[in-house]
Amino acid sequence: RKEVEQDPGPFNVPEGATVAFNCTYSNSASQSFFWYRQDCRKEPKLLMSVYSSGNEDGRFTAQLNRASQYISLLIRDSKLSDSATYLCVAYNNNDMRFGAGTRLTVKP
Amino acid sequence: DGGITQSPKYLFRKEGQNVTLSCEQNLNHDAMYWYRQDPGQGLRLIYYSQIVNDFQKGDIAEGYSVSREKKESFPLTVTSAQKNPTAFYLCASRRAVGSHSSGNTIYFGEGSWLTVV
């Protein structure tokens, strides 16, 4: 079983839609969590950190459920520019574990 | 500007050759990492270093070697022992070893594309 698992997608949604991704992690000792965005043939870039209480940044909301060991990312009012692959990351004791990513395509 | 610089961006290697990918950071980060990404797949850890003159193998270290002689630099050598080296290589760094909050954020260089010809 992979340490961090994501639905690979692709998720194809129309502009303006709300879309949510989940990511599960197997190591209950994981301390910090992040969502990264990766565009085609580019490096991953930090989208947001995920805090225990959940956090929101504009159209993006991230939540953590430690009991069920998953984190989620919600994107509201999707834009064409949101099309990318979204990587989930779990951190524990200097060990960063990446999910394989969920691909999102937002269409006009 | 602060950041992580990888070079070269594109590299072609002949069978049996060793090649070295450069990674330099001026963020004063403690930890540095090398990941490999194959098409449509996630990042796999090759090597990482938490402090100067120390490094550890990741999940797929075979056929690779690294050094960490300076805090700013973490070059990766892809040796001829690596049988399938064609991939996208990402160098990354993180500020504080062992910290729990914002120091855990990992930042990436722009990546190096290695192709075996």
Segment B99-104 shows an average pLDDT of 58
Q: Which residues of A touch B35 (CB under 8 A)?
A: 98
- Using CB atoms, pick whichever of A44, A87, A94 lies closest to residue B97: A94
- Position B81 scores a pLDDT of 85
- Position B83 scores a pLDDT of 84
- Position B47 scores a pLDDT of 96
CA B114, CA A33: separation in Å to the nearest integer?
30
- Using CB atoms, pick whichever of B43, B97, B109 lies closest to residue A98: B43
- Position A1 scores a pLDDT of 65
Dump pLDDT digits (tens) for A21-78. 999 999 998 988 999 999 998 999 999 999 787 899 999 999 999 999 999 999 999 9
Cis bond before residue B75 (omega within 30° of 0): no
**Length of chain A in terms of residues written:** 108
Dump pLDDT digits (tens) for B35-84. 999 987 889 999 999 999 999 999 999 999 999 999 999 999 999 888 88
From the list B74, B39, B37, B36, the residue with the least C-alpha distance to B54 is B74
Q: Which residues of A touch B40 (CB under 8 A)?
A: 8
Task: Indicate if the pLDDT at residue B5 is higher than 60.
Answer: yes
Whether residue B48 and residue A93 make contact (CB cut-off 8 A), yes or no, is no
Backbone phi, psi, residue A80, to 5°: -55, -35
For residues A9 and A60, which has the higher predicted lDDT (pLDDT)?
A60
Q: Which residues of A touch B106 (CB under 8 A)?
A: 34, 46, 89, 96
CB B49 within 8 A of CB B93: no
For residues B99 and A99, which has the higher predicted lDDT (pLDDT)?
A99
CB A11 within 8 A of CB A75: no
For residues B105 and A63, which has the higher predicted lDDT (pLDDT)?
A63
What's the mean per-residue pLDDT of chain B? 90
- Position A53 scores a pLDDT of 77
B101 confidence band (pLDDT: 50, 70, 90):
low
- Using CB atoms, pick whichever of A49, A98, A101 lies closest to residue B105: A49
**B90 touches A at CB < 8 Å:** yes
3-state secondary structure of A2: coil
- Position A94 scores a pLDDT of 74
Task: Indicate if the pLDDT at residue A104 is higher than 90.
Answer: yes
3-state secondary structure of B45: strand
